Amino acid sequence: MTGTPPPLTDDAGTGLRADRVSRTAGGALVLDGVTLAPRPGTVTGLLGPNGSGKSTLLRVLAGVLTPDTGVVTLGGDPLGTVPRRALARRVAVVEQHADTQVDLTVADAVRLGRVPHRRAWSPGTAADEEAVRSALARTGLTDRAHRTCGTLSGGQRQRVQIARALAQEPRLLLLDEPTNHLDIQHQIDLLDLVGGLRLTCVVALHDLNLAAMHCDHLVVLRAGRVVAAGPPRDVLTARLVADVYGVRATVTHPDPDGRPHIRFLGTTSTHH
């Protein structure tokens, strides 16, 4: 489990690929030789305790942070050579908690997704409006298009962020713990939505059972290193949960499709 994990299926043609990426922050190694190549059209879940490097990895994949060593490529080109706007037309990001003080309507917020498609001074085109309309429809927000973002519930606000990301018409969607602050119904709702988008998605998650339910692939980080990668039934074992999270658990496979279910029993620490 501590050895180098096998890289996921490579997709050098069009996809995003991180190759032995490392990044330090404040002198500490936050990412340590991470290799990741999400398979097109699938949902890859990033797991790991707080501080294991999930957010940093997503920021490196989004090109917001540059890796200290290693390289992230998009369709074979290093991210550093892809212009920012071109990158934003192919890779969209949904943050953990997007907040604004601006009184934006839902439609305004979703229109921001067209920023990378528009030049300075140019008015919006029919394609822009069509992309916004379709993004609103896919996220079920059409009826709320002129509500102010501030009047929406947390789950709806996250939907707005996903709609905005869809308006970018990306091939790849990066989501950083999008279900934080949501109740369980909205968590499942949101991940169902993400799974149904038929985009390549990389989503950082905390809840192992939600990850098992909604992800095609899982990558588990600990202290900036990939300690396991593969389909949920191979990755989520009692041993891994104990090793990575320090929690005793039993793992069963009640579903016919083999998706595991984790039942937590307590921490592995000997102190009580």
d(CA 232, CA 217): 6
Rg (CA), the chain: 19
* Cβ 258 vs Cβ 230: under 8 Å: no
CB of 166 to another protein, least distance (A): 13
Residue whose CB is less far from another protein, 85 or 239: 85
36 forms part of the interface with another protein (CB under 8 A):
no
Among 15, 48, 113, 232, indicate the residue that binds another protein (CB under 8 A): 113
116 forms part of the interface with another protein (CB under 8 A):
yes
146 forms part of the interface with another protein (CB under 8 A):
yes
Q: Is 92 helix (H, G, I), strand (E, B) or coil?
A: strand
Q: Is the dihedral of CA 259, 210, 207, 18 positive or negative?
A: positive
* Residue span binding another protein (CB under 8 A) among the ranges 1-9, 42-50, 84-92, 206-214: 84-92
CB of 22 to another protein, least distance (A): 21
Bridging pattern class, strands 172-176 and 91-94: parallel
Among 18, 57, 60, 107, indicate the residue that binds another protein (CB under 8 A): 107
Among 89, 171, 222, 225, indicate the residue that binds another protein (CB under 8 A): 89
Bridging pattern class, strands 200-204 and 43-47: parallel
Specify the DSSP class assigned to residue 68: S
* Cβ 217 vs Cβ 230: under 8 Å: yes
125 forms part of the interface with another protein (CB under 8 A):
no
d(CA 85, CA 118): 9
16 forms part of the interface with another protein (CB under 8 A):
no
The contact set with another protein (CB under 8 A) reads: 59, 62-64, 83-89, 91-93, 95, 98-105, 107-109, 111-113, 115-116, 118, 120-121, 129, 132-133, 136, 143, 145-146, 150, 168
